[in-house]
Amino acid sequence: MTTLVLLSDLVFKSNDKLDQRIRSLFNSEQPSIGYIPSCSDPERKYFEHTRRYYNQIGIDNIQYYDLDLKYEESTFGSIFECDAIHLSGGNTFYFLSLLQKRNVLGLLHSYVKSGGMLIGVSAGSILTTPTIEIAGYGEDADENEVDLKDMKALELVNFEFAPHWDGSEDKLNALREYTHVHRTAVYACQDGGGVVVDGESVELYGNVRLVDGKESGSSDE
């Protein structure tokens, strides 16, 4: 069974229902989360922000695993013993290039299919979908500075994810054009919202809109 949490951003004044739902996905009384940054975070600035968020919802065991400058192949494998793996935000192209370089894509896919949970934020959420092409789309697109050619991601869901939706109809129209060209469906998500995939169920929290070339559904839970 696939269990995923796709977030646009980590905000502390977020959706209480979403926070409670994330906590409820853990079977363990004292769950552990392995954190993978999109690039090295030497001062642990973003990691600390993430750790504080999880502490706030009652999860204290957060472990940092670097795939970039501080990568240690001998110890990285222990991340798959964690109850969940958190994929951070950042540059989606660079993040995917690291996952490819360290041969981690297949391991993450197997981890989820074996019952592990993935929690993504922004770029991390996009990585759970079939492709990261959407990261290079629109005015606020990520720069493909690593000249990444293979955009294939984890393919754990059959839709794409557009974080940081500003709530505007203009952005939705741009995404409608994207869905027509790429023959896909996209969830546009404002910061503070998220999509929870629990087996066959897709749950929307906060201001999330489905854009699929037909007309869209939304949720304001």
| Mean pLDDT on 57-70 | 96
- For the record, the structure tokens of 21 come out as 């739902």
In this prediction the pTM is 0.94
CATH code reported for the domain at 3-219: 3.40.50.880
Question: Which sequence spans correspond to the domains of the chain?
Answer: 3-219
Q: Is a pLDDT exceeding 70 seen at residue 3?
A: yes
Look at residue 86 and tell me whether its pLDDT is greater than 60.
yes
pLDDT at 199 over 60: yes
Whether the predicted pLDDT of 219 surpasses 60: no
Residue 167 forms beta bridges with which residues?
A: none
Mean pLDDT score across all residues of the chain: 93
Over range 128-135, report the average pLDDT: 98
State both tokens at 193.
């919202």
20 Cβ neighbours under 8 A, 6+ residues apart: 57
Cα 15 to Cα 12, 88, 120, 161, 182: the distances in Å are: 9, 19, 16, 19, 31
